[in-house]
Structure 1
Amino acid sequence: MLMEGAPQNDIGYYYAYPSQFADAENVRQVMLAQGAADIDSPVVAAAGGLLSLTLDDPRAEAGGLINLSVGSYDERRVFARIDTGRIGSTGLKGFISYSNNRADNWRGAGHDQRQHIDAKLLNEWGEGNRASIAFSFNDAKTSTYPSPGKADWEASGRGYNFDERYSEGNTNYWRLYRAPFRNFYVAAPVHLKLSDTLNFDSSAYLQMGHGNSPYGTQLATTGNYLGSEELTQPIDLPGAVDGVATVMGNWTGKQFRVGDVSKLTLQAGAHRIVAGLWFDYGTDRVTQSYTSIDADGRPVDQWGYQDKAIRTADGRLLAYENQRTETVTKGFFLADSIAVTPKLGIDIGFKGVNLLRNGRNYLPGPQSRVRIDSFAALPRAAIHYQLDDRQQLFANITTNFRTPNEFALYDSYYGGELVSQGTDRLKNEYSISQELGYRYIGPSLSFSLTAFHYHFRNRQVATVIDSGGALVNSTINAGSQSSYGLDGEIDYRPAKGMSIYASAEYLHTRLNDDLAINGDYLPTRGKRAVSAPSFQFALGSTYDDGRLFGSSALKYVGRQYATFMNDESIKGYATLDLSVGVHLAGLIDAQVMDLRINAINVTNPRVLSGVYSIGTNAQDTVGRNGTLITGSAPTYYVGSGRAVVATLSRAF
Structure 2
Amino acid sequence: MPAMISYDGLRSRRAALVLTAVFLTVPASAWAQQTTEDTADIRVTGHRDPEGLLPDQTAPKAVSEISADFIVKQAPTLNAFQLVNLLPGANVASSDPYGLSTSSSLTLRGLGQDQIGVLMEGAPQNDIGYYYAYPSQFADPGNLRTITLAQGSVDIDSPTVGGAGGLLSLTLDDPKAAPQALLDVSLGSYDARRVFARVDTGEIGRTGVKAFVSYSYTRADNWRGAGFDTRRHVDAKLLRDWGDGNRASLALSYNNANASSYPSPTLADWQAQGRGFNYDARYTAGNTNYWRLYRAPFRNLYASAPVHLKLNDRLTLDSTTYLQFGYGNSPYGTQLATTGNFLGNEELTQPIVLPGAVDGVATVLGNYTGDQMRTGNVTKLTLQAGIHRITGGLWFDYGTDRVTQTYTTVDPDGNPTDRWGYRDRAIQTADGRLLAYENQRTVTVTKGFFLADSIALTPRLTLDAGFKGVNLLRNGRNYLPGPQTRVRKDSFAALPRAAVHCALSDRQQIFANITTNFRTPNEFTLYDSYDGGVVSTRGTNALKNEYSVSQELGYRYIGPNLSASATAFHYKFRNRQLATVIDVGGAQVNSTLNAGGQTTYGVDAEIDYRPAKGVSVYLSGEYLHARIDDDLPVGGDFLPTRGKHAVSSPSVQFGAGGTYDDGHLFGSIAGKYLGPQYATFMNDERIAGYATLDLSVGLHLADWIDGKRTDLRVNAINVTNPDVLAGVQAVSTNARDVVGRGGIVISGYAPAYYIGSGAAVIATVSRSF
Q: TM-score range by the shorter chain?
A: over 0.9
1:628-647 alignment to 2 at 5 Å? 628-647=745-764
1:361 aligns with 2:485: no
1:244-255 alignment to 2 at 5 Å? 244-255=361-372
Structure 2: how far apart are the matches of 1:234 and 1:461? 39
User: Shift of residue 474 of structure 1?
Assistant: 9.8
1:251-270 alignment to 2 at 5 Å? 251-270=368-387
Aligned residue in 2 for 1:54: 171
1:238 to 318, 339, 355: 355
Aligned residue in 2 for 1:447: 564
Aligned residue in 2 for 1:470: none
Aligned residue in 2 for 1:319: 436
1:513 aligns with 2:630: yes
For residues 475 and 493 of structure 1, do their structure 2 counterparts lie closer, same or farther at Cα, with a shift above 3 Å needed?
farther
Give, as a single letter, the amino acid of the residue that structure 2 aligns with 1:557: L
TM-score between both structures, scaled by the size of structure 1: 0.98
Per-residue CA deviations over 1:214-272 (Å, capped at 9, x if unaligned) read: 00000000000000000000000000000000000000100000000000011111001
Aligned residue in 2 for 1:385: 502
Structure 2: how far apart are the matches of 1:27 and 1:493? 25
1:192 aligns with 2:309: yes
Per-residue CA deviations over 1:579-627 (Å, capped at 9, x if unaligned) read: 1000111223222100000000010000001001101001100011111
1:165 to 258, 282, 303: 282
Aligned residue in 2 for 1:624: 741
Structure 2: how far apart are the matches of 1:543 and 1:17? 32
- CA RMSD for the aligned pairs? 1.3
For residues 254 and 463 of structure 1, do their structure 2 counterparts lie closer, same or farther at Cα, with a shift above 3 Å needed?
farther
1:202-601 alignment to 2 at 5 Å? 202-460=319-577, 477-601=594-718
Q: What SS class does the counterpart of residue 151 from structure 1 fall into?
A: helix
Contact 1:395–1:435 under 8 Å retained in 2: yes
Structure 2: how far apart are the matches of 1:47 and 1:450? 16
1:38-117 alignment to 2 at 5 Å? 38-117=155-234
Aligned residue in 1 for 2:240: 123
Query: Does 1 or 2 have the higher relative contact order (CA < 8 Å, sep 6+)?
Result: 2
Give, as a single letter, the amino acid of the residue that structure 2 aligns with 1:458: N
Structure 2: how far apart are the matches of 1:463 and 1:535? 28
Contact 2:543–2:594 under 8 Å retained in 1: no
Aligned residue in 1 for 2:48: none
Aligned residue in 2 for 1:469: none
Q: What SS class does the counterpart of residue 586 from structure 1 fall into?
A: helix
Per-residue CA deviations over 1:352-406 (Å, capped at 9, x if unaligned) read: 0000000100000011010000001000011111111111111111001111111
Contact 2:538–2:591 under 8 Å retained in 1: no
Give, as a single letter, the amino acid of the residue that structure 2 aligns with 1:80: A
Give, as a single letter, the amino acid of the residue that structure 2 aligns with 1:427: K
Q: Tell which deviates more after alignment, 314-323 or 429-438.
A: 429-438
Contact 2:501–2:510 under 8 Å retained in 1: yes
TM-score between both structures, scaled by the size of structure 2: 0.83
Contact 1:405–1:475 under 8 Å retained in 2: no
Structure 2: how far apart are the matches of 1:578 and 1:463? 41
User: Shift of residue 462 of structure 1?
Assistant: 8.1
Contact 1:329–1:355 under 8 Å retained in 2: yes
Contact 2:580–2:733 under 8 Å retained in 1: no
Q: What SS class does the counterpart of residue 292 from structure 2 fall into?
A: helix
Q: What SS class does the counterpart of residue 254 from structure 2 fall into?
A: strand
1:201 to 302, 314, 318: 318
Aligned residue in 1 for 2:107: none
Structure 2: how far apart are the matches of 1:601 and 1:407? 36
In structure 2, list runs of 5 or more residues that go unmatched: 1-117, 582-589
- Higher strand share goes to which structure? 1
Give, as a single letter, the amino acid of the residue that structure 2 aligns with 1:8: Q
Percent of aligned positions that are identical: 73
Structure 1: how far apart are the matches of 2:255 and 2:670? 28
Contact 1:192–1:199 under 8 Å retained in 2: yes
Give, as a single letter, the amino acid of the residue that structure 2 aligns with 1:145: Y
Structure 2: how far apart are the matches of 1:508 and 1:57? 41
1:141-180 alignment to 2 at 5 Å? 141-180=258-297
For residues 463 and 22 of structure 1, do their structure 2 counterparts lie closer, same or farther at Cα, with a shift above 3 Å needed?
farther
Aligned residue in 2 for 1:468: none
User: Shift of residue 518 of structure 1?
Assistant: 1.8
User: Shift of residue 461 of structure 1?
Assistant: 5.3
Structure 2: how far apart are the matches of 1:222 and 1:477? 39
Contact 1:351–1:378 under 8 Å retained in 2: yes
User: Shift of residue 87 of structure 1?
Assistant: 1.1
Contact 1:407–1:474 under 8 Å retained in 2: no
Give, as a single letter, the amino acid of the residue that structure 1 aligns with 2:194: R
Give, as a single letter, the amino acid of the residue that structure 1 aligns with 2:691: A
Structure 2: how far apart are the matches of 1:367 and 1:460? 23
Contact 1:116–1:138 under 8 Å retained in 2: yes
User: Shift of residue 426 of structure 1?
Assistant: 1.6
1:2 to 110, 119, 123: 119
Aligned residue in 2 for 1:603: 720
Per-residue CA deviations over 1:115-156 (Å, capped at 9, x if unaligned) read: 000000000000000000000000000011110011100110
Q: What SS class does the counterpart of residue 273 from structure 1 fall into?
A: strand
Q: What SS class does the counterpart of residue 546 from structure 1 fall into?
A: coil
For residues 475 and 337 of structure 1, do their structure 2 counterparts lie closer, same or farther at Cα, with a shift above 3 Å needed?
farther
For residues 207 and 474 of structure 1, do their structure 2 counterparts lie closer, same or farther at Cα, with a shift above 3 Å needed?
farther
In structure 1, list runs of 5 or more residues that go unmatched: 465-472
Contact 1:440–1:448 under 8 Å retained in 2: yes
Structure 1: how far apart are the matches of 2:516 and 2:215? 40
Per-residue CA deviations over 1:198-220 (Å, capped at 9, x if unaligned) read: 10000110010001000000000
